[in-house]
Amino acid sequence: MMLHVPDVLTPEQVREIRATLDATLWIDGRETVGDQGAQVKRNRQLPEHSPVGRELGKAVLGALARNALFFSAALPSRFVPPLFNRYEGGEHYGLHVDGSVRTVPGTGQQLRTDLSCTLFLCDPESYEGGELEVVDTYGAHEVKLPAGDLIVYPSSSLHRVRPVTRGVRICSFFWVQSMVRDDSRRGMLFELDQTILKLRASIGERDETVALTGHYHNLLRMWSEV
């Protein structure tokens, strides 16, 4: 399941993060991928242990903690702290799949990557190219969102970033280990949760909505790995 989560960051938060990033030194993005990824990756990013990156990552995670739509879709258990990348002058990232396991920097703990997330930090009109293309059984989907918006998609998906031919594309990216490993089950829980919310808004709290809520939590209890 792919999901667009709007307004994760406010315009003011985006401006503050961009101002900090614009004054920061970037490194070759190939330093944080394996041999296969290094063959197709041409971009720059903040080092994994960058103090600036860690502080900005905390701000991103804080915003996500307040976002009900993201929680409903991802059912997050653990995060790889957000990283930040930059593309310009034709830089790109060729077709690849994210590694199934990531080590959380500074902890030695390993995390299963169920979901990949890209948080856009530039307005789409400010650069050309740079579309995130996610390939699944339904075809290829190009994503280029407003600054402050997030795209969430299964980490098992093939994906790429198209060359940036004008301007600069800056994003935050990170991975989530979900309480529910299976993408189809996670999708069903998301649809059920959103349907319950819509019913409550239209008809109020009734026996039927209470019963559906019970089914939701029983399914989550059955499928979660916490």
Per-residue confidence in pLDDT tens, the chain, 226 aa? 999 999 999 999 999 999 999 999 999 987 766 666 678 999 999 998 899 999 999 999 999 999 999 999 999 999 999 999 999 999 999 999 999 999 998 888 999 999 999 999 999 999 999 999 999 888 999 999 999 999 999 999 999 999 999 999 999 999 999 999 999 999 999 999 999 999 999 999 999 999 999 999 999 999 999 8
Q: In CATH, what number is assigned to the domain containing residue 70? A: 2.60.120.620
> Within this chain, do residues 205 and 152 fall inside the same structural domain, yes or no?
no
> Within this chain, do residues 96 and 197 fall inside the same structural domain, yes or no?
no
The SS3 assignment for 185 reads helix
> Within this chain, do residues 21 and 113 fall inside the same structural domain, yes or no?
yes
> Within this chain, do residues 42 and 154 fall inside the same structural domain, yes or no?
yes
> Within this chain, do residues 46 and 154 fall inside the same structural domain, yes or no?
yes
> Within this chain, do residues 144 and 174 fall inside the same structural domain, yes or no?
yes
What is the spatial distance between Cα 95 and Cα 93, in angstroms, rounded to a whole number?
Answer: 7
CB atoms within 10 A of CB 219: 15
> Within this chain, do residues 16 and 76 fall inside the same structural domain, yes or no?
yes
> Within this chain, do residues 168 and 148 fall inside the same structural domain, yes or no?
yes
Angle, CA of 165, 170 and 174, to the nearest 5°: 125
φ and ψ of 87, to 5 deg: -125, 135
**Which residues does residue 177 pair with via DSSP β-bridges, in sequence order?**
78
What is the spatial distance between Cα 94 and Cα 45, in angstroms, rounded to a whole number?
Answer: 16
The structure tokens 């169920």 sit at: 114
CB atoms within 10 A of CB 117: 26
The whole domain housing 18 covers 3-178
> Within this chain, do residues 62 and 18 fall inside the same structural domain, yes or no?
yes
> Within this chain, do residues 172 and 212 fall inside the same structural domain, yes or no?
no
Q: For the whole model, what pTM was predicted? A: 0.94
**Total number of domains constituting the chain:** 2
